[in-house]
Amino acid sequence: MEERELGAIAEAAAQVLSEDGGHWKAAGTPEAAVAALGQIPAALADDIQMLATRLAALMQVDTVTIRLEVVSTNACRKIHADNTDLRLITTYAGPGTQVLPPHSEVDPNNLWTMPTGWVGLFKGRAFGEGHEACLHRSPPMGDMGGERLVLVIDTPAFAREGACA
């Protein structure tokens, strides 16, 4: 987890939320994928490109899949591990992803909520032998009301439609 303050990025996220929902998805080099997202505020686009570039370098890949979406439902409310190698998740607005600390009993009472703006690298089931997958879920927005703006970045081998954040 990387702690950070959003500053101007929070204003850009609020602008996106004030529009009528949204779902953006693109793949390619970090620069090309961000460009393919289309019209999003510059501060948000710059941050997404920086995070995508960092994940690509860490995982030694040339391309990534980026998904930015407004979430207002109870999608992915079950505690789960993703079928991926490593996934980057950050919440730009609204409640952050809920994480189960390692070696904790799978119980919603044990979940910790990532603060808005923090960046998480979530090991998935395919990360490699000897590595425990990170169990997490999306906060139940349908029950809570409100919306969240979530960014998910995957490596190309494991990017798929409808993956949870």
- pLDDT average, residue stretch 140-162: 81
Residue 165 lies in a domain: no
Domain CATH for 51: 2.60.120.10
What percentage of the chain's residues is helix, strand, coil (to nearest 5)? 25, 25, 50
Mean pLDDT over all residues of the chain?
91
Residue 2 lies in a domain: no
Residue 162 lies in a domain: no
Residue 133 lies in a domain: yes
Any idea which of 29-38, 50-59, 63-72, 140-149 has the lowest mean pLDDT?
140-149
**Per-residue pLDDT, 160:** 58
Q: Who's near 158: CB < 8 A, 6+ residues apart?
A: 82, 83, 84, 85, 87, 124, 126
Which pTM value belongs to this model? 0.91
Structure tokens at 72: 């207002």
Residue 1 lies in a domain: no
Residue 159 lies in a domain: no
Residue 21 lies in a domain: yes
- pLDDT average, residue stretch 81-110: 92
Task: Provide the strand spans (E) within 29-147.
Answer: 64-71, 86-93, 98-99, 112-113, 119-123, 136-137
User: Is the Cβ–Cβ distance between 78 and 136 less than 8 Å?
Assistant: no
Residue 163 lies in a domain: no
Any idea which of 26-35, 75-84, 105-114 has the lowest mean pLDDT?
75-84
Q: Using a pLDDT cut of 90, give the percent of the chain over it.
A: 66
Range of the domain at 56: 8-154
Report how many domains make up the chain.
1
